[in-house]
Structure 1
Amino acid sequence: MKNTKEIYIRTSNLSTNVLALKRFFIKNKIEAYLVGGAVRDACLNRDTEDLDVVIASSDISLGLKLAIALKGKCIPLDPVRNIDRIVFPKNELTVDVTYLNNSNTIEDDLIKRDFTIDSIAISLNQSEVDAETRLIDPANGFADLENHLIKATSEQAFHCDPIRILRGVRLSAQLGFAIDDRTEKWIRKSISLLLNVSKERVRDELLKIISSPNIASSLYKLDSLGLLTIIIPELENCKDVEQPGEHCYDVFKHSLETPRMLELILSEVDNTSRAVKFIPRFERWETFFQEIYADGATRFTLLKLAGLLHDIGKPQTKTVESDGRIRFLGHGNLGAETSQSIMDRLRFSKKASNYVTSIVKHHLRPSQLAPKGLMPSKKAVYRYYRDLGEVSIDTIYINLSDYMAAKGDRILESRFDLSDWERHCKMAATILNNKQKDDPDIYLRIVNGYDLMSELGLEPGPFVGKLIDLISESYAAGEINNRKEAIDFAKTVIKNES
């Protein structure tokens, strides 16, 4: 039903970037509108750097003129549908520009959009000195904003662009809104349409969902709607796979709970749980996981994805011993292979794929560096950093999340026995504290291959590399401290080998 009630928001809710758009369109007497997420966020008094503009003209040169006025660059985003994007060299602001043909009104355009809360517009021709800005809201989206509802404009919205199926879940996660019952029904009916969407678009929406807070809630919602195993069919095999007694969930639920525990561990919000207080921190903790790593995603986002996939190899490796003991031997290696297939299918970059698969492969490694109850040696820590490289720190925190997810919410209860968890966290702290900070090549600088060959008369080959590795381990353990001791150590190794 068309909304006839006039609704206004404070003009001060609009960003200075919107005011710059207004000045251009008012000065040039061009009818234009701000639509979509920017209006939604203004209604919610949230900041946004993505602006969508609809120009009531078929003159596609106006996008270029707007870009020049704003000191940006105009890029044809979708030449078929005449969509331009304006980007800026010094900030993350983007302005997407579409054009209305003469036969359509802004109301016609809005009612064909995906969700009611994104089917609201404001005129960019209304004076910026007005204290209030009128909303154009033919789909009653403002009411749904007030009621915290994600509601599709129609079932046809999902047929026009099936990626909107995932976008609804993403908006629910980002805003903390519920998806209304009729929209959920439409989504379930349209699930198969996702198979016709490009893998790149599915990947991008999945990453946006994973990057949003309350990851477990989003994953459970994806599963309840039948979407999670459409995106990652391999997870279906994890359902109802029983685990040993120390686990409180089957493999599937454990896989969904691990990224939730990771969020808890890495949360910037103070947590009063005793369990969380044992978790070790390190220098650059605040920024390390928030840096963009690959495919536009942060380490934190890709680490949550690795947490979701870390036990993907368990169903195929499960065995039950004669005494009833359940084991999953080799599930890390098989899980890495399966994760690689998943990452390839969703068109992730090589860097992102290597990151996730390496963590899946080695997620148990931190707790295997020493016998139970003992702390890892300096040599073991050296080998750990040597083998895992740039995912070494990340893997420690997946290992911690894995432990917590195995125990479930019991570990957060005040009466839970945390003695074993405290030892586990001390193990993680030992690995972190023994890393050579800011100088990953320090072990190799004490002596190099040329030194060994010239001093000891060796020929180039694998044996020289083996010597360097042994020297590096001994240096890490404090057994040798300078070049002379390294050469003497190499002589001893050669003598023992001969």
Structure 2
Amino acid sequence: MRCSIKISHKSPTIKSMLQFSEKDKSILKPVYNFAKSRKVKLYLVGGALRDLILKRKKDNPDFDFCLKKGSLNFGRKLARQLKAAFVVLDEEHAACRMVKRIEGKLYTFDFTEFRAPTLEKDLLHRDFTINAMALEFKDVFSDKDLNALIVDPYSGGADLKRKIIKVTGKNSFREDPLRILRAFSFSCMLNFSLDKETLHLVKKEKNRIIAVSSERIREELFKIFDSSTAYDSLVVLDRIKIFEIIFPEIKPMRGIGQGPYHHLDVWQHTLETLRQFELILKSVKQNPQINDYLDQEISSLRKRSSLLKFACILHDVGKPGALRRQKGKIIFHGHEGVGLGLTRVIWRRLKLSNEEGRALERIVFCHLRPGYLADYDHPTQRAIFRYFRDTGSEALAVLLLSLADQRATKGPLTTALSRLRHEKLVKSLIRKLLEKQRQKKTVRFFNGNDIMKKFKLPASVLIGTVLNALEEAQAIGKIKNKKEALKLAAKIIKKDK
């Protein structure tokens, strides 16, 4: 497992010729030409060099630059010339960003001033050794081997070989406490381990993360969720009590037993649900429809699969507030409603988009619905229709979470038969949903204007009631033509009067 204190050593290997691709050079050339025309000496630093050495490609590339002074003025004028978006990230530290879409990809260019008199001392202020390397910008375009030209005073290249995350200095987390969480997001993204001393510093400085803005925490958290090993990282974050600093709602979940249907307390069950969900993700990779759904970007490049991992963490967050003891039994009646309220507080605190927030709320609130359907040997078509209607675009998300939730439940009263029935029901609903998506959308027999005109009714709540009833009846095959639809509509309207 990564994010551990174990350090892996590798035998030395012969370095291959290191150079940027012609594509990268063509993207970077306008920036270089602009800097050259203004006699500004730029250095390429951090992630771009790290990824070049690792031969790691990114969907939306980013390049970090530093210069002695004047970064805000330089970045603003460059963005104006290249017709790119520009934003000041941190006025105090003279950090700014230029963003430009080129051939369908979103390229990010960050500029900062030296935070020390020399380049080497500036690099000491970078977060980790693997990001504390630099290259004079003009050398990007040379034919020489960049291995010999990279400035690497803190042995970042060696740490890349050893596959470890190591702070540049013992004050790294004090300079920016977000780096505590970034250590884990880098560990996930690169599949690296944390250096022993770095992990010790994480434990020592962890409370400083309280001072970090929720937006910055959100970005690192979703980098962890975006990886295939989020569970491993969250287990370590949980073990050293960082996760509950970020989400105090977690602490009450610890140690709450759940009765004979469960083998874990609420919080350990939550983590196990995430583990099971990551296993499910691996098993559905061969299904393009499910993969396309999970790869959808809901907002700001954040994928539905990452949001669903967050939903795994939140799905039982309402249990401590709903806990009751009835006739010696532990019950959590209504915990999905309590959970919805807490989920709303959490997503707003993280400043997720409204679309992401609504999706999380719906998933948490509806996560028990597949289980209710599985209680019946043969759920009715009406019940199935209402499930799909109520969960909407999150229908598949809820089904996948329900599957992971059930697999994380292994108490003595959870029988093999009940588990099989649940799996069978969920998988049949997934097949039904995917088949429905491949078919043409059913055309309604009537719209609202039709109903108002035929029955001489004004616009009102009743029209919506009639339309919903007609849609349900059509979906389950109760009505098959306009004549039958009119008859049902008349019946509903008469009953309302």
TM-score bin (small chain) = 0.7 to 0.9
Please list every run of at least 4 consecutive aligned residues from structure 1 whose deviation after the TM superposition is greater than 6 angstroms: 68-71, 268-271, 438-441
Where 1:95 maps in the other structure, the secondary structure is strand
Matches of 1:201 and 1:207, distance apart in 2: 10
Matches of 2:391 and 2:125, distance apart in 1: 49
Shift of 1:209: 1.6
Shift of 1:100: 3.5
Matches of 1:456 and 1:69, distance apart in 2: 62
Answering whether residue 98 of structure 2 is matched by residue 99 of structure 1, we say no
Matches of 1:69 and 1:453, distance apart in 2: 57
Q: Is the CA contact 1:184–1:225 (under 8 Å) kept in the aligned structure 2?
A: no
The equivalent residue for 1:183 is: 198
Tell me whether 42-51 or 13-22 shows the greater mean CA deviation: 13-22
Answering whether residue 424 of structure 2 is matched by residue 426 of structure 1, we say yes
The equivalent residue for 1:21 is: 28
Matches of 2:207 and 2:337, distance apart in 1: 32
Residue type of the alignment partner of 1:129: D
Answering whether residue 404 of structure 2 is matched by residue 404 of structure 1, we say no
The equivalent residue for 2:210 is: 195
Residue type of the alignment partner of 1:437: Q
Matches of 2:45 and 2:253, distance apart in 1: 42
The equivalent residue for 2:129 is: 116
The CA deviation string for residues 67-110 of structure 1, in whole angstroms up to 9 with x for no partner, is 57877455443333322322212321111122338x72211111
Answering whether residue 337 of structure 2 is matched by residue 330 of structure 1, we say no
Gaps of 5+ in 1: 1-6, 272-280, 411-415
The equivalent residue for 1:363 is: 367
Answering whether residue 345 of structure 2 is matched by residue 316 of structure 1, we say no
Q: Is the CA contact 1:289–1:300 (under 8 Å) kept in the aligned structure 2?
A: yes
Residue type of the alignment partner of 2:132: S
The equivalent residue for 1:483 is: 482
Residue type of the alignment partner of 1:150: I
User: Cα distance 1:15–1:50, how it changes in 2: closer, same or farther (>3 A)?
Assistant: farther
For residue 36 of structure 1, the aligned residue among 46, 60, 84 is 46
User: Cα distance 1:457–1:434, how it changes in 2: closer, same or farther (>3 A)?
Assistant: farther
Matches of 1:348 and 1:64, distance apart in 2: 28
TM-score (norm 1): 0.85
The equivalent residue for 1:142 is: 157
Q: Is the CA contact 1:22–1:125 (under 8 Å) kept in the aligned structure 2?
A: no
Shift of 1:157: 1.3
Query: How many residues were matched structurally?
Result: 472
Where 1:155 maps in the other structure, the secondary structure is coil
User: Cα distance 1:391–1:495, how it changes in 2: closer, same or farther (>3 A)?
Assistant: same
Matches of 2:454 and 2:374, distance apart in 1: 36
Where 1:388 maps in the other structure, the secondary structure is helix
Q: Is the CA contact 1:449–1:464 (under 8 Å) kept in the aligned structure 2?
A: yes
Matches of 1:441 and 1:250, distance apart in 2: 43
User: Cα distance 1:303–1:65, how it changes in 2: closer, same or farther (>3 A)?
Assistant: same
Where 1:54 maps in the other structure, the secondary structure is strand
For residue 387 of structure 1, the aligned residue among 387, 390, 401 is 390
TM-score (norm 2): 0.85
Where 2:387 maps in the other structure, the secondary structure is helix
The equivalent residue for 1:4 is: none
Gaps of 5+ in 2: 1-13
Q: Is the CA contact 1:75–1:84 (under 8 Å) kept in the aligned structure 2?
A: yes
Q: Is the CA contact 1:295–1:348 (under 8 Å) kept in the aligned structure 2?
A: no
Shift of 1:65: 6.2
Tell me whether 450-459 or 216-225 shows the greater mean CA deviation: 450-459
Where 2:228 maps in the other structure, the secondary structure is coil
For residue 77 of structure 1, the aligned residue among 89, 95, 98 is 89
The CA deviation string for residues 315-355 of structure 1, in whole angstroms up to 9 with x for no partner, is 22223443x44321111011111111111222222222111
Shift of 1:484: 1.1
Answering whether residue 344 of structure 2 is matched by residue 340 of structure 1, we say yes
Matches of 1:339 and 1:440, distance apart in 2: 35
Tell me whether 214-223 or 184-193 shows the greater mean CA deviation: 184-193
Answering whether residue 430 of structure 2 is matched by residue 437 of structure 1, we say no
Matches of 1:266 and 1:13, distance apart in 2: 34
Q: Is the CA contact 1:13–1:43 (under 8 Å) kept in the aligned structure 2?
A: no
Q: Is the CA contact 1:381–1:434 (under 8 Å) kept in the aligned structure 2?
A: no
RMSD of aligned residue pairs (Cα, Å) = 3.1
Q: Is the CA contact 1:240–1:250 (under 8 Å) kept in the aligned structure 2?
A: yes
Q: Is the CA contact 1:235–1:252 (under 8 Å) kept in the aligned structure 2?
A: yes
Matches of 1:420 and 1:12, distance apart in 2: 58
User: Cα distance 1:131–1:331, how it changes in 2: closer, same or farther (>3 A)?
Assistant: same
Matches of 1:370 and 1:437, distance apart in 2: 23
Shift of 1:296: 3.3
For residue 301 of structure 1, the aligned residue among 306, 313, 318 is 306
The CA deviation string for residues 271-323 of structure 1, in whole angstroms up to 9 with x for no partner, is 9xxxxxxxxx6x7222111111024311111111011000001122223443x
